[in-house]
Structure 1
Amino acid sequence: MREPLSVVVTTYNSAGTLEACLASVAWADEIVVLDSGSTDATAAIAQRYGARVQVQPFAGYSAQKQAAIDLARHRWVLLLDSDEALPADAADPVRRALESPPCAGFQLWRREWVFWRWQSPRARLNHYVRLFDRERARMSGHSVHESVQVDGPVRVLDVVLDHYGEPDIAGRVDKANRYSSLQAAEGRPRRQAWLGWRMVAYPSVAFLRYYLLRGHWRAGWAGFIAARVHAFYAFLKYAKLHEARMRGRAGGR
C-alpha cells in the first residue's frame, strides 16, 4: 500500500514560478503552501491548484520550512521551493518509492537554470533530501543553505528537479549579498581562525570548484559569470565577518 504524499511549498511573491511548481505535483494527495504575506497573485495560483494556503510572517528560511512541514497532514512529505518543478514523468517513481519505503528519506537530483540556459547535462548535479518521513526528519536550523536532516537511512531517487532560481545576474548578486549577511551573522559567535587568509584565498577556491570541478565551464559565458558571482559570495561572507570583527575592536564605531 502506498503512503499518501503531502507536497509542501513556502512562498513569497512567487507568482512568476509557482504555477509551474504546483502543476508539476498536481497528482499529489495534498499540497500545502505557507506564504509570507505575498502581494502578487501567489495565493490565487495556489488556490487554483487546490492547495491549502496559510500565511505567517517570515521566520527565517529553515524555521519557515519547518513550520510548513508541520502543517502537512500526511507522514511523507515532498519539500519544494516555489522556483522548483518536477519533470512530467516524476509521479510514477515517487509513487513507487512510497510503496513500503525502505528508508527515512530520498535525495533528488537538481539541475540549475543559469541566467539564460540550463546547466550543461554533463555538469555535475547537486542532490538534496526532499522526499522524507517527517516523523524522522527536521530542518537543520541554518540561517541559509538549510537542509533536511533525517534520522535514518537515505537513498537517491532517480528524479531531477528543475530549479529556475534567479532570472538574471542582478538577482543572483542580490541573493549573494543577502545570504552572505545572514551567514556572517550566523558565524559571528564563533571564533574564525585565519579570517584574513580565508578572505584572500577562498574566493579563488570557490571559483575553481564551481567552474571546473562541477563542470559549469560547459555552460559557456553563463557558467563563467555564475562561477564569478559564486566566488564573490564567498568573498563577501568572510569580508563581512572581518568587518564585524573590526567594528567590535573599535567599540562599534
Structure 2
Amino acid sequence: MAGREPLSVVVITYNNADTLDRCLREVDWVEDLVVLDSGSDDDTVAIARQHGARVETHPFDDYGPQKQRAIDMARHDWVLNLDADEILSPGTREVIERALVAPDVAGYRLPRRERMFWGVQHRHSHRNGHLRLFDRRRGGMNDVEVHAAVEVDGPVRTLREADFVNDGDADIATRVDKINRYSSGMVAHKLRRRQRFTGVRMVLYPPVFFLRQYLFKRYFLSGWAGFVASVTGAFYVFLKYAKLYEARRNARAHDDGQRRE
C-alpha cells in the first residue's frame, strides 16, 4: 500500500521446516524479511532463502535475547515479530498495511488463535491480543524467562480485524512436553518476584483458569479440543506453582542443613 511505513518481519528458527514455509508465504509482501537461525539441521534455512529472507545464524541462549538480535537486524523501524509456527490469517495483511499509514501509536496488538491439537481455536472464542507489530525505536524484548515479549514506551492499539494462528501443538503429547519445559523455566522468574501464597495459588488458580478458558473465553465452541486445551492450560498453571513451592521447600531445607553444620 502506497504511503505506509516500510515493514520488517523477524523470525527466529530452529528445525522449523514443518511450519516455516506457511509462515513466510503469508508475509512475502513485506520489504524486509529476517530469519535468525540457531543451527538447524533440517531444511529450515533453505526454505527461508527460497522466500528471499536474509538469513543469519547465532547460537540460541534464550528466547528474549535471540528475538532481540533478530529485531536489531531489521532494516526498518516498524517490525512484525512472528514465531516460525505462526501464520497470518487471510485479510490481516490489509489491516496491517492500513495501520502503518501514518501510525500514531508505538505498537499494535494482533489477536492470536491457537492450534488446538486436531483443530484451530474457534473464531468466536476469545482471542488473546499479542504486541507483535511495533516501532523498534520505542521498545524491544523484555527479559522474562520463557515468556519474553515485546514492550514499548507509548500507546498500543489492538487490530481487532486482524488475526494470526499459532500452528504449534499438533498433538497432546507435544503440548504436555512444552508445559513441562515452560513451567520449569518460569520458576526462576517467580522466585525473583517473591510471589506469595504459593500453596493457595496452586490449589485455587487451576480450576479458576479452567472455568475462565472453557466458559468465559468460550473455548467450548471448539468442542473436545477446547476442553482438552482448557484442562492442559490449567495443568500448566498447577505445575508453575507446584514447582515454585518445591523450589522454595528445597531452598529452605538446604539452608537448614547448612545452619546445622
Specify if TM > 0.5. Answer: yes
Q: How far apart, in 1, do the equivalents of 2:73 and 2:42 lie?
A: 23
Q: Which residue of 1 aligns with 2:7?
A: 5
Find the aligned partners of 2:243 and 2:22 in 1 and give their Cα distance: 36
Q: Give the aligned residue type for 2:200.
A: W
Choose which of 164, 172, 185 in structure 2 pairs with 1:169: 172
Q: Distance in 2 between matches of 1:133 and 1:164?
A: 26
Report the TM-score, using the length of structure 2 for normalisation: 0.93
Equivalents in 2 of 1:132, 1:62: separation in Å? 16
**Alpha-carbon separation, structure 1, partners of 2:123 and 2:116:** 12
Deviation, structure 1 residue 137: 1.3
Displacement of 1:156 after TM fit?
2.0
Unaligned runs of 5+ in 1: none
1:216 to 203, 206, 219: 219
Q: CA separation in 2, counterparts of 1:32 and 1:209?
A: 37
Q: What residue number does 2:39 align with?
A: 37
What is the match of residue 22 of structure 1?
A: 24
Provide the C-alpha distance between the structure 2 equivalents of 1:192 and 1:8, rounded to a whole number of angstroms. 33
Match for 1:132: what amino acid? Answer: F
Report the TM-score when normalising by structure 1: 0.95
**AA matched with 2:221:** R
The reply on whether 1:155 has 2:157 as its aligned counterpart is: yes
**Structure 2 residue aligned with 1:242:** 245
Residue in structure 2 matched with residue 120 of structure 1 by the alignment: 122
Kindly provide the amino acid, as one letter, of the partner of residue 75 in structure 1.
D
Corresponding position of 1:83:
85
Whole-angstrom CA distance in 1 between matches of 2:211 and 2:149: 24
| Aligned counterpart in structure 2 of residue 191 of structure 1, from 185, 190, 194 | 194
Deviation, structure 1 residue 176: 0.5
Tell me the secondary structure at the aligned position of residue 250 of structure 1: helix
Question: For 2:184, what is the secondary structure of its paired residue?
Answer: helix
Query: Could you tell me which residue of structure 1 aligns to residue 182 of structure 2?
Result: 179
How far does residue 185 in structure 1 lie from its aligned partner after superposition? Answer: 1.9
Distance 1:164 1:122 in 2: 18
1: CA distance, partners of 2:203 / 2:93? 46
Amino acid at match of 1:190: R
Which of 26-35 and 91-100 deviates more? 91-100
Matched, 1:51 2:53: yes
1:142 match? 144
Distance 1:93 1:247 in 2: 51
Shift of 1:54: 0.8
Per-residue deviation, 1:90: 2.9
Where in structure 2 are the equivalents of 1:53-72 lying within 5 Å?
53-72=55-74
Determine which of 101, 109, 112 is the counterpart of 1:110: 112
Number of equivalent positions: 253
Residue identity opposite 1:36 in structure 2: S
1:41-95 deviations in whole A, cap 9, x for unaligned? 1101000001001111112111111111011011111111111111233333222
Paired-residue identity, %: 53
Please give the alpha-carbon distance, in whole angstroms, between the structure 2 residues aligned to 1:48 and 1:183: 36
Distance 1:199 1:74, change over 3 A: same
Change (3 A) 1:75 1:222: same
Distance in 2, Cα, partners of 1:2 & 1:246: 55
| CA apart distance, 1:145 | 2.3
**Aligned equivalents of 2:4 and 2:237: distance in 1?**
43
Q: Which amino acid aligns with 1:117?
A: G
Displaced runs of 4+ in structure 1, greater than 3 A? none
Distance 2:4 2:62 in 1: 33
Q: Which amino acid aligns with 1:124?
A: H
Deviation, structure 1 residue 128: 1.1
Q: 1:205 aligns with which of 198, 204, 208?
A: 208
Deviates more, 1:178-187 or 1:143-152: 143-152
